[in-house]
Amino acid sequence: MTGNVETARAEATTTCTIAEAAREALAEEMRRDPTVWALGEDLAAGGIFGAYKGLAQEFGSERIVSTPISESMIMNVGFGAALAGTRPVVEMRILDFALCAWDELINQIAKARYMFGGQGNVPVVIRMPQGIGRGHQAAQHSQSLEAWLVHTPGLVVLAPATAADEKGMLKSAIRCDDPVAMLEPKALFPTTGEVPAGEHLTPIGVARIAREGSDVTLVTWSTLLPTALVAAEKAHEAGISVEVIDLRSLWPWDREAVMRSVAKTKRAVVAHEAVAVGGFGAEIAASISEELGLRVTRVGAPRIPVAYAPILENTYRVSAERILAAIERSA
């Protein structure tokens, strides 16, 4: 499979924020399939990013369920309800709080299909907006942990970065019969983008070429995509042509698309918001090194928690400058 096939199909588009795209996706799937429902805190009020706005009014309190502050129950109820024939969308508010339900996600949901010998599917979507948000909320509200989830057998892991993919991936996730960890790009929720009109599904496991280029391949995803595109533009101005791959599906990841691009450019950078040490970038880098024998330059956060003060928070953050420096340094 190759990149951005699905966008070719789209004829008309509409512009909306990522939060709106998310709401549309859920609303469409709930209209289509009466077994789809959502549960999480404050959903009746529209959710903290507005991604559930108006849905309680349309679908009622039995399908848009505002729950107690009981993360481990939210997660495990989603699990039990998936085993019993529904397709729950579990809202964790932000990824950090999902750690209160980590046993349920990792020990129950991810392993169930296997432990039970494939008796049933576990079609549950776990929404975990991740990364540094806009509110400077410090260490317990800002983590990016995709590396953990990719390391967990049984899970599909998605990390959209655009409105189109937020919509297309959430819809694909809801229709997926595996548990899907949906790592939404928290900081990008209010940003707008084009979304193909009509039924729009993003295929799972297919990367998107966000910018074509010939000198260096830059693999990235989620909140770092806009920054990566800025860096690519700066590199362009400096005479380096950068191909930016928005990986977007982290498990399975589109190894073929990445290898094809790197085989062409012979230079690779991988950049993500998460801590570099033990990040998913290490897996991509190790894979490229194994397959193509190339040295990959990794960019990620230092191994520090996210701090409150903006200057400290920025030190954690991967900037366009840091990506540009990595592009220049890559060989």
Ligand X SMILES: Cc1ncc(C[n+]2csc(CCOP(=O)(O)OP(=O)(O)O)c2C)c(N)n1
Give the footprint of ligand X on residues 217-276 (CB under 6 A): none
Token duo for residue 145: 């942990």
213 Cβ contact list (under 8 Å, min separation 6): 232, 236, 241, 242, 243, 244, 265
User: By CB under 8 A, is residue 171 in contact with other proteins?
Assistant: no
Token duo for residue 210: 């966000």
Residue 136 to residue 142: CA distance in whole angstroms? 8
Answer with the entry of ligand X, a second copy, other proteins, none that 260 interacts with (C-beta below 5 to 8 A by kind).
Answer: none
Cis ω before 252 (30° cut-off from 0): yes
User: By CB under 8 A, is residue 230 in contact with other proteins?
Assistant: no
Residue ranges of E strands in 197-246: 208-211, 216-220, 242-246
Spacing of C-alpha 182 from chain mean position: 6
Catalytic residue among 136, 141, 200, 272: 141
What mask of x and - would describe binding to a second copy in positions 172 to 211, judged by CB under 8 A?
----------------------------------------
Answer with the entry of ligand X, a second copy, other proteins, none that 106 interacts with (C-beta below 5 to 8 A by kind).
Answer: a second copy
Helix extents (H) in 45-158: 55-59, 71-83, 95-98, 102, 110-115, 146-150
Part of the chain binding ligand X (CB under 6 A), chosen from 93-101, 201-209, 210-218, 278-286:
93-101
* Residues lying near ligand X in the complex (CB under 6 A): 41, 69, 71, 93, 97, 100
* Residues lying near a second copy in the complex (CB under 8 A): 96-97, 99-100, 102-103, 106-107, 110-111, 114-115, 138-140, 143, 145, 147-148, 150-154, 251, 274-275, 277-283, 285-286, 289-290, 293, 295-298, 303-305, 307
Active site residues: 141
